[in-house]
């Protein structure tokens, strides 16, 4: 069994720092591969070594699996942690890593490939007995209108190569469907290198609930509970929490059992997330997709389970058994995370890069802040705008919300625009406090 | 806009191929003065202007206080001084190079990428050891412009 001693971190921002910290706590060395724009970042400074793998644009650095593997080999690492985003769900990186004798901290390439093909993943879910939304692949010559009539309007047009909220369009009627199909197809081809599209039923009153799973290389699969990520803007999550509020125990049990069954059926390894859409009106739930990476929102699961998921990823990748069973997974309290972004909410959520003349996060009990920034840090314009994740963990949901609200009020930020006021409006809103929001709520009630 | 090392090389290439004999470029945080052909002015010389608006580090200065230009790595990879083991090095210290002279190879996952000097002059120093990992923007050679 290969023992991991030095980990190459193929990412940036808060997650790169998070991985470096986890490795250091495990006594592992770290090498961070940075772009030119991130050379002086906190992750690079904290790691044992940093190497500049390319220029600032991600396509010339963080998205180059050849450079990542070359850099990992050249710095004598024995494993690669891909974080989230970038190459985290690249079967090519996973394959290239193992071909070169490196441990890829994630699922095997064939599982990543299956999960990345949203159509195949749907089929596999159906085969495993997991409910899927009515839907159908639409080839260039197919009668989309007929398929849509069978599914019912409004209907979602999704890219088979999409996922993570990308490559989705909504058609309210046949006319709109006709007008957006060809654009959707060329966009999918350009963005994902895969022009395949499919239609899927749109659930109007929906909640996004996902289940964290963990699977070792010896056949054990467990779940670590669910997260509710219904507060979204344009299919991107803004606030996430665990457990899902007002979820009846029967549905919770069914969802977690389905997630484990699906993970087992596809031979899943390491940590992953099975996403579901919950129809609030009917109580039905449907499989959406599986994500083969550590999620941005993993800290809420860490808070309520008391388990370090990044360390668990490394532990599993190193060939170890999980070391605990489903019965050992217990849940304590409530946790909510909100994503602080450098963006100008008043101007269409435009990214707001710049230098932070002031950035101080409060030191509250019950509060965890994951960030790679401090006063003087620069937020470059090349990447996503995530500045920090604020995670509150307290006994009840109300108390947790209050911790987060206080933390947001006490943040000191100068130099860039942020979505802080928006986050405060969400957390203070009566609908959110009641735990009754659906995925379209943020854009309907707040924005 | 700050000029990158690559931009400078591109400018030099264009001037090299043009009828121009002298060029002065001033952008925010950077000024470049190039004179082609003999005479007393060494070419190329770039001198740092006022600090760039963004603090993005440039991979290397095209020329430094000691008058030497630097050839930097255009990509991360393994640095090879020769085409193959046992073959002579592309360049040794003292070798005369032109802008298009191949000075080394950088290997990325079995892909061999030849690196050209980008400047004319005489190799004054070979910075990395053979077969060493070089980072993007790292100094490979120091060149006495001529």
Interface probe with A: pick from B135, B138, B139, B140, most Cβ of A within 10 Å: B135
**Cβ-nearest to B77 among A40, A70, A96:** A70
Q: What is the mean pLDDT of residues A226-255?
A: 96
Task: Please report residues of A whose CB lies closer than 8 A to that of B107.
Answer: 70
Written as six digits, the tokens of A164 are 């993570």
List Cα–Cα distances, A93 to A52, A68, A79, A102, A178, in angstroms: 18, 8, 12, 10, 37
Q: What is the mean pLDDT of residues A101-121?
A: 97
With cut-offs at 50, 70 and 90, classify the pLDDT of residue B95.
very high
Written as six digits, the tokens of A55 are 């220029």
pLDDT > 90 in chain A, percent? 95
How confident is the model at residue B56, as a pLDDT? 34
Tell whether A6 is within 8 A of chain B (Cβ): no
Q: Is A177 exposed, middle or buried (0-12, 13-18, 19+ CB in 10 A)?
A: buried
Q: What is the gyration radius of the CA atoms in chain B, in angstroms?
A: 15
Q: Which residues of B108-141 are buried (b: 16+ CB within 10 A; e: fewer)?
A: bbeeeeebbbbbbbebbebbbeeeebbbbbbbbb
Residue of A nearest to B131 (CA): A74
With cut-offs at 50, 70 and 90, classify the pLDDT of residue B28.
low
Distance CA A57, CA B5 (A): 16
Distance CA B13, CA B118 (A): 8
With cut-offs at 50, 70 and 90, classify the pLDDT of residue B42.
very low
User: Could you tell me where the beta strands, DSSP code E, fall in A354-409?
Assistant: 354-355, 358-360, 367-371, 378-379, 386-394
Output the average pLDDT for chain A: 96
With cut-offs at 50, 70 and 90, classify the pLDDT of residue A200.
very high
Q: Going edge to edge, which strands form the sheet with A334-341?
A: A285-291, A270-279, A206-215, A221-233, A236-242, A334-341, A386-394, A367-371
Q: What is the pTM of this model?
A: 0.87
Give per-residue pLDDT as tens, A407-440: 999 999 999 999 999 999 999 999 999 998 999 9
Tell whether B78 is within 8 A of chain A (Cβ): yes
Taking the CB of residue A369, how many other CB atoms lie within 10 A of it?
18
Task: Please report residues of A whose CB lies closer than 8 A to that of B57.
Answer: 36, 39-40
Written as six digits, the tokens of A7 are 């980990």
* CA neighbor of A406 nearest in space, from A389, A428, A422, A431: A428
Tell whether A108 is within 8 A of chain B (Cβ): no
With cut-offs at 50, 70 and 90, classify the pLDDT of residue B31.
low
Give per-residue pLDDT as tens, A258-307: 999 999 999 999 999 999 999 999 999 999 999 999 999 999 999 999 99
Active site annotation includes A293: yes
With cut-offs at 50, 70 and 90, classify the pLDDT of residue A446.
confident
**Cβ-nearest to A70 among B4, B54, B109:** B109
Give per-residue pLDDT as tens, B115-146: 999 999 999 999 999 999 999 999 999 999 98
Task: Please report residues of B whose CB lies closer than 8 A to that of A69.
Answer: 109
Q: Which residues of A121-133 are buried (b: 16+ CB within 10 A; e: fewer)?
A: bbebbeeeebebb
Taking the CB of residue B86, how many other CB atoms lie within 10 A of it?
6
Which domains are present in chain B?
5-48 (no CATH), 69-145 (2.40.50.100)
Which residues neighbour A383 within 8 Å (Cβ) at sequence distance 6 or greater? A12, A13, A37, A58, A62
Q: What ipTM goes with this model? A: 0.86
> Contact, A295 vs A273, CB < 8 A?
yes
Catalytic residue among A293, A368, A397, A420: A293
Give per-residue pLDDT as tens, A170-181: 999 999 999 999
Which domains are present in chain A?
6-105 (3.40.50.20), 134-201 (3.30.1490.20), 206-446 (3.30.470.20)
Tell whether B111 is within 8 A of chain A (Cβ): yes
With cut-offs at 50, 70 and 90, classify the pLDDT of residue B12.
low
DSSP letter for A112, please. Answer: H
């Amino acid at each position: 069994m290969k023992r991991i001693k030095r980990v190459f971190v193929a990412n940036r921002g808060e997650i790169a720092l998070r991985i470096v910290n986890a490795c250091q706590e495990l006594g592992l060395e770290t090498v961070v591969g940075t772009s030119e724009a991130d050379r002086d970042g906190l992750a690079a400074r904290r790691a044992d070594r940093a190497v500049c793998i390319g220029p600032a644009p991600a396509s010339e650095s963080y998205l180059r699996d050849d450079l990542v593997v070359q850099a990992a080999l050249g710095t004598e690492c024995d494993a690669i942690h891909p974080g989230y985003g970038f190459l985290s769900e690249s079967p090519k990186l996973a394959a290239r890593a193992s071909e070169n004798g490196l441990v890829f901290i994630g699922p095997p390439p064939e599982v990543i490939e299956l999960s990345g093909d949203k159509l195949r993943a749907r089929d596999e879910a159906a085969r495993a007995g997991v409910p899927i939304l009515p839907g159908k692949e639409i080839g260039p010559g197919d009668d989309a209108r007929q398929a849509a009539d069978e599914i019912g309007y409004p209907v979602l047009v999704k890219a088979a190569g999409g996922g993570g909220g990308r490559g989705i369009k909504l058609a309210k009627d046949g006319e709109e469907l006709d007008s957006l199909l060809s654009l959707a197809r060329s966009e999918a081809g350009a963005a994902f290198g895969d022009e395949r599209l499919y239609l899927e039923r749109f659930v109007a009153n929906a909640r996004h609930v996902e289940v964290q799973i963990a699977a070792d290389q010896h056949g054990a699969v467990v779940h670590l509970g669910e997260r509710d990520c219904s507060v979204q803007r344009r299919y991107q999550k803004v606030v996430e929490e665990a457990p899902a509020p007002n979820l009846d125990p029967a549905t919770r049990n069914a969802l977690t059992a389905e997630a484990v069954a699906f993970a087992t059926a596809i031979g899943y390894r390491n940590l992953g997330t099975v996403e579901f859409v919950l129809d609030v009106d009917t109580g039905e739930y449907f499989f959406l997709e599986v994500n083969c990476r550590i999620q941005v929102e993993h800290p809420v699961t860490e808070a309520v389970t008391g388990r370090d998921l990044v360390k668990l990823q490394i532990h599993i990748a190193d060939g170890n058994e999980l070391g605990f069973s489903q019965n050992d997974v217990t849940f304590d309290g409530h946790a909510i995370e909100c994503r602080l972004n450098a963006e100008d909410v008043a101007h269409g959520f435009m990214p707001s890069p710049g230098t932070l003349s002031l950035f101080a996060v409060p030191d509250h009990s019950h509060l965890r802040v994951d960030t790679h920034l401090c006063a003087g840090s620069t937020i470059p314009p090349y990447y996503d705008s995530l500045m920090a994740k604020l995670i509150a963990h307290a006994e009840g949901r109300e108390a947790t919300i209050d911790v987060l609200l206080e933390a947001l009020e006490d943040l000191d930020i100068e130099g860039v625009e942020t979505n802080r006021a928006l986050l405060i409006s969400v957390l203070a809103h009566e609908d959110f406090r009641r735990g009754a929001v659906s995925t379209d709520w943020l854009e309907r009630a707040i924005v | 806009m700050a000029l990158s090392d690559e931009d400078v090389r591109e400018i030099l290439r264009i001037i090299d191929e043009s009828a121009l004999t002298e060029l002065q470029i001033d952008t925010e945080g950077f000024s470049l003065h190039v004179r082609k052909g003999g005479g007393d002015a060494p070419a190329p010389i770039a001198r740092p202007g006022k600090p760039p608006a963004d603090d993005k580090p440039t991979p290397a200065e095209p020329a430094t206080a000691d008058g030497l230009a630097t050839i930097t790595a255009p990509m991360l990879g393994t640095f090879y001084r020769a085409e193959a083991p046992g073959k002579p090095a592309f360049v040794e210290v003292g070798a005369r190079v032109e802008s298009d002279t191949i000075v080394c190879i950088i290997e990325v996952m079995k892909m061999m990428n030849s690196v050209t000097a980008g400047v004319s002059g005489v190799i004054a120093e070979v910075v990395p050891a053979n077969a060493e990992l070089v980072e993007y923007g790292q100094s490979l050679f120091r060149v006495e412009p001529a």
